[in-house]
Chain A
Amino acid sequence: MTSARPYANPYVAGIALGLVLLAAFALTGQGLGASGAFANAASGLVAAVAPAQAAKNSYFQSYLAAGAPWSAWIVLEIAGVIAGGAVSAGLAGRFARRIETGPHLSKAARLATATTGGMIMGLGAVLARGCTSGQALSGGALLSVGSWGFIIAVFAAGYAAAPLARRLWR
């Protein structure tokens, strides 16, 4: 893609993201999220495949009790994230089918590390009750103690693990 435009200045993008987050606070009374959409999807899947299992599980019930998980606020928000990301990439000439990987890692191995990383983050996000969106961004801006604990833990573990994962990226 020779026509791909360069990315925005990170501070400008960050301020824009902060204004989107502020709009969410002011309009809806809650911040942004991402892992919550996965929790709703997982709850909906378990309820469809194994309703008895879903009915006796407090975690899935906490999502199912709020109504149909496929039309939860955060699921529609994530549908918006996907649409907004696709349109933005398309307009900037950055939409392309590809697999981002380090110089020494095959594409198949990269898909395996991406899947594994996703699974590990899924475990972490359930325990933390949110991810870099719902906890770090939203809870961080509202000065939640648990959110700041989460942010510090994420970066501490990331920097501790990075040397061990160096061959993936460098």
Chain B
Amino acid sequence: MSFTQSLPVAFAIGAAFGCTLERAGLGDAKKLAGQFYLQDFTVLKVMFSAIVTAMLGAFWLGRLGLIDLAAIYVPETFLAPQIAGGLIFGVGFVLAGLCPGTSCVAAASGRGDGLATVGGLLVGVLLTGLAMPLIGGFYASTARGPFTLPQLTGAPYGVVVAAIVLIALAVFAGVERLERRA
């Protein structure tokens, strides 16, 4: 195991992750819930600007030969369970007002609702894991392996990256207008 795979590095990266979530205010469930009532788009702004930053960074570092993109693990696609899981997750997200990462930050900043969400997550994952003999077929269905938007669309990597940047800028402009109206 290399140094960068080591547990102190995992802890340090996690600490930086937790710190940025807390700085953004994403430990506050009321703030996250505001997203779904068109009042406060902090979640979307933080998430989408983080995706765009890391996407552009990975693209350019790869293009300049500074990192080997082939060595980075791309989450495998299982389209049907991932869309079903997303639909279920979205309902839980509105109820809790937190997601797994932000629930840890909420709990760490003294919030009882964060701790309750953490407990619920553990129970939910545990029960679903126990039910795996029943749902394993669906869980493993529509497997596509590592499957990316450039592969799906046939468009070059750089074109997909540019398109997502443009979509992000349009979404940011739209939510700024919605927030001013709210």
Contact = CB atoms under 8 A, between A and B. Distances in A.
B56 to A, nearest CB: 8
B144 A146 contact: yes
B10 A38 contact: no
Given A18-B51, A117-B95, A158-B90, A78 B120 contact: no
Interface in B24-41: 24-25, 27-30, 33-37, 41
| Size bracket, chain B contacts | 35 or more
Interface string A35-46: 101110111011
Contacts of B35: 158
Contacts of A157: 86-91
Interface residues of A, number: 125
B92 A117 contact: yes
B116 interface: yes
A134 to B, nearest CB: 7
Nearest to B10: A76
A138 to B, nearest CB: 7
Given A19-B57, A115-B120, A153-B83, A76 B110 contact: no
Contacts of B113: 99-101, 110-111, 114
Q: Which 5 A-B pairs have the closest CB atoms?
A: A122-B124, A118-B120, A80-B14, A18-B53, A117-B96
Interface of A: 7-8, 10-11, 13-32, 34-35, 37-39, 41-43, 45-46, 53, 57-60, 71, 73-74, 76-89, 92, 94-102, 107, 110-162, 165-166, 168-170
